[in-house]
Structure 1
Amino acid sequence: MSLVAQLAGTARGVTARSLLRLPRPVLRRLAGSPVVIDGRTLDPEMQLILRVQRIEGPAIETLPIRKGRAKAVADAKVVGGNLPIGAVTDRTIDGPGGPLTLRFYTPRGLTGDAPALVFFHGGAWIYGDLDSHDAVCRFLAEEAQVRVVAVDYRLAPEAPFPAAFDDVWAAWRWVTEHAKGIGIDPARIAVGGDSAGGCMAALVAQHATDDEGIKPAFQLLIYPVTDFLETSASRKTYAEGFYLTTAFMDLGEESYLLGDEDRADPRLSPLRHDVTGVAPAYLVTAGFDLLRDEGKAYADKLKAAGVPVEYVCEDGLIHTFANMVGVGTTAPRAMRRAANALQRGLS
């Protein structure tokens, strides 16, 4: 049995954190032979995390959805840790389908009307919740010195399309309409999210251009889904083996969509719609991620429309690196760049 396999049999959180604290040369040896695709080299921290994941059990998408959801939260806690923050409070508002919970993060030392990020979690529209992305929100709040409002939107298959979008749009409208009463500067509110949440953040920014309410001042888009219509090259190259798989995405789409939707619907595919006048953006993708190419395509579309956009591909990283703020050095460094961009965008 390899050392990695032996370590994987111990407490999961201790395993991940202990392995990624090892000296870089040791970590490289444990990770295995370098993985190089299209001139990019997989970061050894990511490679080691993938090795441990394969040893520890079945992939999330192979489990019944309820068990997969529990595993997604547990996995996120392992790599996210419990980062210190000033305050975390939950509040329930009236949503389109019933009560909708928002979680408010206030960084240490922040007072008065402050900039804010309304954040939508990822999870292919079937996984994820306030707890799965708690560490991400804590990190962004503290690093960018902004209030973060996370949205617990409805999930499929219990609530198929367009429930998730309806919820995030309702949450955006509520936060912007009540900004002054909840310590938020209405002129400095960003919208953001990762993966499926990044898709919905982009859609909210698009819809806001035609709405009479407050428009986002900035977008933070982390490896967003942007296209339900075409299969990009990266969707084929990284179809399996790098955490997010084609099977994972297919399960999400089949659960969220009932089959008769127009995949170019303005509540689904941001890449297919007019982006004139949307907020400036920081868009980051991972080099070893099947969503990489469509993320870059959306950044290119923003740029072509004259929207200020900073595009970064974190070449050696995998999907879900945003959740890995509690382990290693490479994922936290990438997320610190994102947080710095958010802070600049709202300054």
Structure 2
Amino acid sequence: MTVPEPIALPGLDPATAGLLAMIAESGAPPLHELPLPVAREVYDQTAAFGGDPALVGRVSDMSADGVPARVYWPEGDGTHPVLIWLHGGGWTVGGVEAADRTARALCQGADCMVVSVDYRLAPEHPFPAGVDDARTAAEWVIKEIGSLGGDPARLAIGGDSAGGNLSAVVTNELPGTFAAQVLVYPATDLTLDHASISELGHSQLLTKEAMQWFRNHYAAGADWTDPRLSPLYASPEVLATAPPTLVITGDLDPLRDENVEYVRRLREAGATVDHARYPGQIHAFFELSGVIQAALQARARVVQALRDAWA
């Protein structure tokens, strides 16, 4: 197994550099060199870097037409807007447990219900299982959330990394449904041909090799330009239906260039897009708010975007 080397990226945020140096000094191998069950356990353990869990009104595990979901309610009475959240993890690791701190923070900060979707993972359930589950859960929310105290007229969808990918795909497939979409360093192009993949895809939490590992678990042999895999290749007519969109990008993220390109294509199609770029930040920084200050700033940006959309 390969032990990651300390990070040497110009402009790397000191807090991020310290975290990555600690991981490198531990001698822990990268996820893609671990047996899959172990990789999933290790990934779930990183949730501890997300800080203390925010207090919310209540939490309940539910079935969204057969798709497991964890529903969060904010404190207080009344009808609440709703955020559908799709976790990251390369379609292969992660779940509602690992995403719990993020879901709680967004529930509390945006004073909204959050439906965190536990979609099926590859390679046991390859593409299009993740897309199908995400869409099924979204359609369940549209039909049923009113009976649970949510406002079906104020829906948003979002996710990080692979979850951002699924969020973009579902948004494109359900035009006119959402008041906003929030894409946190989304994977938008599974061809992996953008320059930042090679330039930045080494010695950090997400590498080029890891992206290839995730992609091959999820969609080996597929057409990687299929818009249900790579929303970057959706038609201009589809992209034109996008709601107001916030894209969060770390400027040292290997997915940076495909984020930039997706923003460009959305804007060219006529969509309203706010692209928030964070200097010195890598992939996954948004989930590390317990140790990286910029993650708190990015979370506040997401909360404000949701509040603005619902206002």
Q: TM-score scaled by structure 1?
A: 0.83
Contact 1:80 1:323 in 2 (8 A): no
1:230-269 C-alpha deviation (Å, 9 max, x unpaired): 511111111112211111111111111131x222223111
Contact 1:139 1:325 in 2 (8 A): no
Cα distance in 2 between the residues matched to 1:81 and 1:302: 35
1:74-99 C-alpha deviation (Å, 9 max, x unpaired): 1122334322222221112333xxxx
Letter in structure 2 aligned against 1:326: G
1:58-81 C-alpha deviation (Å, 9 max, x unpaired): 222211011000000111223343
Aligned to 1:340: 304
- Specify the structure having the higher radius of gyration (Cα): 1
Q: Indicate the SS of the match to 1:316.
A: coil
Contact 2:200 2:254 in 1 (8 A): yes
Q: Does 1:89 align with 2:55?
A: no
Contact 1:146 1:343 in 2 (8 A): no
Which deviates more, 157-166 or 312-321?
312-321
CA apart distance, 1:189: 0.2
Aligned to 1:298: 262
The one of 17, 20, 41 aligned to 1:50: 20
Runs of 4+ in 1 over 6 A off after TM superposition: none
> Which aligned pairs between 1:233-244 and structure 2 lie closer than 5 A?
233-244=195-206
1:259-290 C-alpha deviation (Å, 9 max, x unpaired): 1x222223111110120212110111111110
Letter in structure 1 aligned against 2:233: R
Pairwise CA RMSD: 1.6
CA apart distance, 1:160: 0.7
State percent identity of aligned pairs. 36
Count of aligned pairs between the two proteins: 302
Contact 1:81 1:325 in 2 (8 A): no
Q: Does 1:106 align with 2:67?
A: no
Cα distance in 2 between the residues matched to 1:291 and 1:257: 18
Alpha carbons of structure 1 residues 223 and 328: separation in structure 2 relative to 1, 3 Å: closer
Contact 1:286 1:315 in 2 (8 A): yes
CA apart distance, 1:328: 4.1
Alpha carbons of structure 1 residues 318 and 230: separation in structure 2 relative to 1, 3 Å: closer
Cα distance in 1 between the residues matched to 2:181 and 2:21: 33
Q: Does 1:188 align with 2:154?
A: yes
The one of 47, 70, 89 aligned to 1:76: 47
Letter in structure 1 aligned against 2:142: T
> Which aligned pairs between 1:206-245 and structure 2 lie closer than 5 A?
206-209=172-175, 215-245=177-207
Q: Indicate the SS of the match to 1:318.
A: coil
Letter in structure 1 aligned against 2:47: A
Cα distance in 2 between the residues matched to 1:181 and 1:135: 25
Gaps of 5+ in 2: 1-5
Contact 2:156 2:181 in 1 (8 A): yes
Cα distance in 2 between the residues matched to 1:335 and 1:318: 15
Aligned to 1:163: 129
Aligned to 1:325: 289
Aligned to 2:243: 279
The one of 226, 246, 250 aligned to 1:265: 226
Q: TM-score scaled by structure 2?
A: 0.93
The one of 112, 126, 141 aligned to 2:107: 141
Aligned to 1:11: none
> Which aligned pairs between 1:10-49 and structure 2 lie closer than 5 A?
35-36=9-10, 41-49=11-19
Cα distance in 2 between the residues matched to 1:265 and 1:35: 33
Q: Indicate the SS of the match to 2:39.
A: helix
Letter in structure 2 aligned against 1:82: P
CA apart distance, 1:50: 0.5
Gaps of 5+ in 1: 1-31
Q: Indicate the SS of the match to 1:319.
A: coil
Q: Indicate the SS of the match to 1:187.
A: strand
Alpha carbons of structure 1 residues 269 and 35: separation in structure 2 relative to 1, 3 Å: closer
Cα distance in 2 between the residues matched to 1:115 and 1:33: 41
Contact 1:118 1:150 in 2 (8 A): yes
